């Protein structure tokens, strides 16, 4: 199977790291609906390029209900606004609170998609090459967590499949809860045992014996990487100014501000689509 090339694949690890930190910061700090939508589209476009369109759509099965849950729960905890939609006892549900909940749910999903993008643009070897000698423990923790999460999910599916075969379907709700608790207990036990095995293996291979670590691949910071960082910093400065301006001019309470067309959305969208465009370029280049 040929290796999959991703965005910033030929660049020094510091280039995608700086881009991702800035992108995640802008995504989590921008509470304006259009900017949230643009960030979501950019993150989803890159996910579709890397994982495939239908696999990315399948991941929305838990993301979209999560947005709905956040939107419904927000008016129950924050009764703010001026447009009354419904009443639940003494609690008034306002349209502005619902819209704010939808926006925060979209912001959460966008951030999760960008973290998924970070896992592909910055695999474990790049994180170790970037931080291995500066923050060895932190870089190890990050790389191990990024590796453990997909293994955790796969092992959970395997345990659920085995229990589904061993235990007949059609049992009651109490037995279903017990089955889920049993699966969680087995999964947690496997996780702790796997962590101990990894620690023993690392100790046997001399982890921490040397002050300076070697890396799987030697990355050299070139003039092209320096130019890319300059472009990223300049583009980020423009997008941050756009984000600050748009977020400051928009408010949900007491009434929602009116959204109008604005030129600032164009460079912001270009920034968010950079990973998807670079992925397409790398895929065509190494085809």
Tens digits of residue pLDDT in 168-216: 555 566 777 777 778 778 888 887 887 788 778 777 777 666 556 555 5
| Bridge partners (DSSP) listed for residue 93 | 86
N-terminal to C-terminal alpha carbon distance within the chain: 13
Q: Taking 70 as the threshold, does the pLDDT of residue 13 lie above it?
A: yes
Range name among 56-70, 154-168, 258-272 with the lowest pLDDT average: 154-168
Listed residue (132, 149, 282) closest to 217, CA to CA: 132
| Phi (first) and psi of residue 158, to 5 degrees | -65, -45
Residue 164 has what pLDDT?
Answer: 66
Residue, of 139 and 23, whose pLDDT is higher: 23
Give the global pTM: 0.73
pLDDT in tens, 16-27: 989 999 999 999
Q: How confident is the model at residue 2 (pLDDT cuts 50, 70, 90)?
A: very low
Cβ-contact 89, 75 below 8 angstroms: no
């Amino acid at each position: 199977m040929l290796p999959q090339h991703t965005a910033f694949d030929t660049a020094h690890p510091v280039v995608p790291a700086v881009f991702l930190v800035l992108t995640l910061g802008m995504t989590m700090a921008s509470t304006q609906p259009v900017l949230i939508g643009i960030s979501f589209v950019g993150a989803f476009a890159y996910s579709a390029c890397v994982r495939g369109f239908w696999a990315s759509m399948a991941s929305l099965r838990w993301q979209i209900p999560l947005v709905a849950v956040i939107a419904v729960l927000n008016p129950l905890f924050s009764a703010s606004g001026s447009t009354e939609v419904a009443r639940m006892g003494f609690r008034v549900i306002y349209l502005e609170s619902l819209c704010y909940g939808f926006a925060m749910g979209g912001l959460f999903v966008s951030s999760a998609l960008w973290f998924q993008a970070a896992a592909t643009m910055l695999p474990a070897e790049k994180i170790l090459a970037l931080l291995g000698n500066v923050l060895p423990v932190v870089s190890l923790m990050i790389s191990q967590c990024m590796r453990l999460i997909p293994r955790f999910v796969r092992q959970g599916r395997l345990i659920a499949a085995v229990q589904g075969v061993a235990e007949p379907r059609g049992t009651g709700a109490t037995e279903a809860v017990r089955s889920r608790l049993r699966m969680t207990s087995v999964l947690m036990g496997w996780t702790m045992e796997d962590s101990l095995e990894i620690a023993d293996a690392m100790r046997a291979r001399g982890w921490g014996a040397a002050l300076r670590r070697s890396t799987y691949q030697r990355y050299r910071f070139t003039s092209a990487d320096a130019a890319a960082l300059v472009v990223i910093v300049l583009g980020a400065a423009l997008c941050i100014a756009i984000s600050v301006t748009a977020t400051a001019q928009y408010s949900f309470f007491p009434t929602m501000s009116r959204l109008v067309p604005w030129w600032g959305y164009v460079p912001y969208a270009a920034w968010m689509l950079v990973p998807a465009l670079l992925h397409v370029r790398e895929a065509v280049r190494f085809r």
